[in-house]
Structure 1
Amino acid sequence: MSVEIRQVTTKSDLKKFVTFNLELYKGNPYHVPGLIDDEIMTLSEDKNPAFEFCESVYFLAYKDDKIVGRIAGIINHKANDIWNQKHARFGFLDFINDNEVVNKLFAAVENWAKEKGMDMLHGPMGFSDMDHEGLLIEGFDQVGTMATIYNYAYYPRQLERLGFVKDQDWKEYKIYVPEEIPEKHLRISKIVREKYGLKTLKFKSREEIMKYRHQIFDTINKAYAHLYGYSELSEAQIEYYSKIYLPMLRLEFVTAIVKEQDDEVVGIAITLPNLSRALQKAKGSLWPFGFIHLLRGLRCKSKIIDLYLVGVLPEYQNKGINALLFDDLIPIFKKNGIVYAESNPELETNMAVQLQWNYFERKHHKTRRAYIKRID
C-alpha cells in the first residue's frame, strides 16, 4: 500500500505522535527516550508558552495502517523577526528507512510552510533552544543524553537525498575531570575575582534558586542571543522552565558567579548527573516506576555529569568567568566520583566555548547538524 499522511488533530493522535519514537527505537542501546507527558506538554498549544509567538503542525505517516513516520512543522515568528528571515522549522522527526515515507512527510511540511509564506525549511529544531535540535551525523555508537536527539545513521542520508544541505554543526565532547584544578585556572580565577569584584554563589535551597530564576535566565538570554536560531525566552517561558527544571536540580552541581556589590548574576553553570540510563529504564513514563529510576539517577553517584546550561554575560565573556565556574565545580565533581562531563551540543562557530576546554583532556565523540533547504 502507498504511504498516507495524516495531520494530528486530536489528543489521541498526539499521543501516537509522541510514542512512535519509543517504538522505533525499542531495544536500541544508544537511544535515550524523553518523557511522554513532557513531550505532549511541549507540543500542546494550551501548555507551552512558546505558542505566544510560534505556530505548528504535526503529521504522521501510515503504511498498511501502521505508523511509520512523524514530523512537526514549526514557525518561530520571534526568531524570524530577530534574524530577518522567513524560515519554517522541522522537528520531532522520525521515520523508517523508506524513500516514499520521507518524501511525503517533508512534502506535507513544505506545503504547509509555503502556504504560511515561508521560503526556507531548516532543522531539526524545536520551538526554542530549550528543545532538542540538530540531527546526529557522527557518533551513532554513543549513548545520547537527556538534552539531545539520537537518530539512526540513515536519517542524514535521507535528508541529503531530498536536497537538504548543512546550515550549522554542533560538536559534543567528553571532557575528563582533572585530578586537580589547572594551575592557569587558579591564577585566572584569583585575578578575575579581584579585578571585577566577583564571588561564587552556591544555593542552599530550591526556594533560594527560584528567587534567582529571572537573573539566571536573563543571563542565559543575553549569553545566547547571538547564537544560531536563538530567540529570547519570554517571561512566561522563564516561569514554565523554572517550574519544570529548577526543582529537580542537585544544588551542589549549580554554580553562579555574582557581583559582590549587588549579587547580579554574571555567569551560571547548571550541571546535572547524567540521566541517560535512568531515562532508558523509565521507557518514557514516570509511572509506575519511572520516577524511581530518575530519582536514583539524580541522587546517586554517577561517573558522568551533563553540562546542561553554561552562560556568561556578553560584557564578561573571554575574561575568565568560566575559570571561576569550574574552579568551584571541579572539586565537587571529584568528590562525587565524576570521571567526565558530556558537553552537550556546542556550535562549531562558537570559538569562545571551544577554547575554554583547551586546558582539559577531551574527546570529540558526536557531531550533529542543522540542515536547510529552499522551499520551492
Structure 2
Amino acid sequence: MSVIINKVRTKDDLKKFIQFGIDLYEGNEYFVPPLIYDERATLNWSKNPAFDHCDANYFLAYRDDKIVGRIGVIINHKANEKWNERNARFGFVDFIDDSEVVDALFGAAESWARSRGMDKIHGPLGFTDLDHEGMLVEGFDQIGTLSTIYNYPYYVNHMERMGYIKDQDWVEFLITIPKEMPERFLRASEIVKKRFGLDVKHLESKKDVLPYARDIFKLINRAYKDLYGYVELTDRQIDYYVDMYIPMLRLEFLTLVIRQEDNKLVGVGIGLPSIAKALQKARGRFVPTGWYHLYKALKGKDTNVLDLLMVAVDPEYQGKGLNALMFNEFIPAANRLGFEYAESNPELEINSKVHSMWNSLETKQHKRRRAFIKNL
C-alpha cells in the first residue's frame, strides 16, 4: 500500500508521534530516548512558551495502518525576523529506510512551509537552541547524550538524495579528565580573577541557585546571540527552563563566575553526570522505575562520564581565560567523584573560540552532526 500522511491532531496522535521516535530504535545500544514527559511539554502549544512566536505542525506517515515515520515543521517568526530570513525548520524527524516514506514525510513538511510563504527549510532544529538539533553524520558507534539526537546512518543518504545540503556542522569531543589539576590552570585562574576582578561563587544548596537562575539564562542569551539559528529566550521561556533544569543540577558542576564590583554573572559552566544509560533503562518513562535509574545516575552511580552541558561567557570576557576558572572547579570535583571522561555539548564547527578551550587537554573529536538546508 502507498504511504498515507496524517496530521497530529489529538493527544493520542501526539503520544504516538513521540513513541515512534523511541520504538524505531528498539535494541539499538547507542540511542538515548528523551524523557517522554519533557518531549510532550516541548511539543504542546499550551505548555511551551515558544509558541508565543512559533507556529508548528506535526505529521505521521502510515503504511498498512502502521506508523513508519514522523516529522515536525516549525516556523520561528522571531528567528526569521532576527536573521532576516523566511525559513521553516524541520525536526523531531524519524523514519524507516524507505524512499517513499521519506519523500512523503518531507513533502508534507515542505508543502506546509511553502504554503506559509517560506523560502527555505532547514534542520533538524527545534523551537530553541536548547532543543535537540543536528543530524548525526559521524559517530554512529557512540552512545548519545541527554541533549543530542541519535539517528541511523541511512538518514544522511536520504537527505542528500532529496537535495538537502550542508548548512552548518557541530562537532563533539570526548575529553580525558586529568588525574591531577594542571598547574597552568591554577596559575591562569588566579591571574584572571585578579586582572578582571572576578570571583567564583560557591553555592551550598539548590535554593541558593534560585537568585541566579534567571541570570544564567540571560547570560546564555548574551553569549549565544550571534550563533547559528539562536534566538534570545523570552522571560516566559526563561521561567519555563528554570523550572525544567534547575532541579537536575549537581552543585559540584555548577560554576558561576561573578564580577566583584557589581555581582554581575559573567560566566557559567554546567556539567551533569551522564544519564544516558539511565534513560535507556527508563525507556523515556519517569514511572514506575525510571525515576530510580535517573536518581542513581544524577548521583554519579554507574557512569564515569561527565556531560559538559553548557559553557557561556559574557561577550565582554570571551577569549580572556574564564575557562581556566571553570576547569579549576570541574577537574578536582570530577576526580573526587570518580569521573574519567567528559563529553562536550555540540559546538559549531566554525566556533574556534570554544574549540580552543580543549587545546591543553587530551581530546578526541568523536561525533559530528549537521543542519541541512533546501530551497523550497
Q: TM-score, normalised by structure 1?
A: 0.99
Q: Deviations over 1:118-158 (max 9, x none)?
A: 00000000000110000000000000000000000000100
| Partners of 1:46 and 1:127 in 2: CA distance | 14
- Partner of 2:139 in structure 1? 139
Secondary structure at 1:129's aligned position in 2? coil
Residue 151 of structure 2 is aligned to residue 151 of structure 1: yes
Aligned with 2:228: secondary structure? coil
Q: Which residue of 2 aligns with 1:315?
A: 316
| 8 Å contact from structure 2 (residues 146, 275) kept in 1 | yes
Which residue number in structure 2 is paired with residue 306 of structure 1? 307
Residue 127 (str. 1) matches residue 156 (str. 2): no
Question: Contact 1:182–1:359 (CA<8 Å) still a contact in 2?
Answer: no
Task: State the shift of 1:260 in Å.
Answer: 1.6
Matched residues, number: 375
Aligned to 2:326, the other structure's residue is in SS state: helix
> Which residue in the other structure is 1:272 paired with?
272
d(CA) in 2 for partners of 1:353, 1:102: 35
Structure 2 Cα separation of the partners of residues 360 and 261 of structure 1: 32
Distance apart, 1:180 and its partner CA: 2.2
Deviation at 1:159, TM superposition (A): 0.5
Distance 1:361 1:309 in 2: 19
User: Offset of 1:190 from its aligned partner?
Assistant: 1.4
For residues 198-213 of structure 1, the aligned pairs below 5 Å read: 198-213=198-213
Q: Which residue of 2 aligns with 1:353?
A: 354
The worse-fitting range, judged by mean Cα deviation, of 354-363 and 294-303 is: 294-303
Amino acid in structure 2 at the alignment position of 1:305: L
Partner of 1:36: 36
Contact 2:253-2:329 at 8 Å conserved across structures: no
* 3-state SS of 1:212 partner: helix
Aligned equivalents of 2:155, 2:221: Cα separation in 1: 31
2:64 and 2:23 mapped to 1: Cα distance?
16
Aligned to 1:113: 113
Paired residue for 2:288?
Answer: 288
Contact 2:347 2:354 in 1 (8 A): yes
AA matched with 1:221: N
- Report the 3-state secondary structure (helix = DSSP H, G, I; strand = E; otherwise coil) of the residue aligned with 1:267: strand
The residue that corresponds to 2:327 in the other structure is 326
Q: Distance in 1 between matches of 2:269 and 2:65?
A: 47
Checking the alignment, whether the CA contact within 8 Å between 1:258 and 1:267 is kept in structure 2 is yes
**Deviation digits for residues 34-55 of structure 1, max 9, x if unmatched?**
1111111100000000001111
Q: Decide whether the 8 Å contact of 1:68 with 1:101 is kept in 2.
A: yes
- The amino acid across from 2:171 in the alignment is K
Return the offset for 1:261: 2.4
Shift of 1:284: 1.1
User: Which amino acid is the alignment partner of residue 257 of structure 1?
Assistant: V
> Deviations along 1:8-44, whole A, 9 cap, x unmatched?
0000000000000111001100000011111111000
Name the CA distance, whole Å, in 2 between partners of 1:181 and 1:219.
27
Which residue does 1:21 correspond to in 2?
Answer: 21
If the length of structure 2 is used for normalisation, what is the TM-score?
A: 0.99
Tell me the secondary structure at the aligned position of residue 131 of structure 1.
coil
- Distance, in Å, in 1 between the alignment partners of 2:188 and 2:298 is 32
Structure-1 residue corresponding to 2:372: 371
Q: How far off is 1:262 after superposition?
A: 2.4
The equivalent residue for 1:297 is 297
Question: Residue 75 of structure 1 aligns with which residue?
Answer: 75
Per-residue CA deviation, residues 69-98 of structure 1 (Å, 9 max, x unaligned), is 000000111111111100000000000000
> In structure 1, how many angstroms separate the alpha carbons of the residues matched to 2:370 and 2:23?
24
- Unpaired stretches in structure 2, ≥5 consecutive residues: none
**Once the two structures are superposed, what CA deviation does each residue of 1:317-370 show, in whole Å capped at 9, x if it has no partner?**
000011111111110011011111110201010000001100000011100000
Aligned match of 1:254: 254
Q: Give the drift of 1:291.
A: 0.5
Report how far residue 275 of structure 1 moved: 0.3
SS for the counterpart of 1:288 is: coil
Which amino acid in 1 is paired with 2:373? Answer: I
Aligned to 2:66: 66
Number of the residue aligned with 2:50: 50
Distance across 2 between alignment mates of 1:221 and 1:37: 26
Structure 1: tracts of 5 or more residues without a match: none
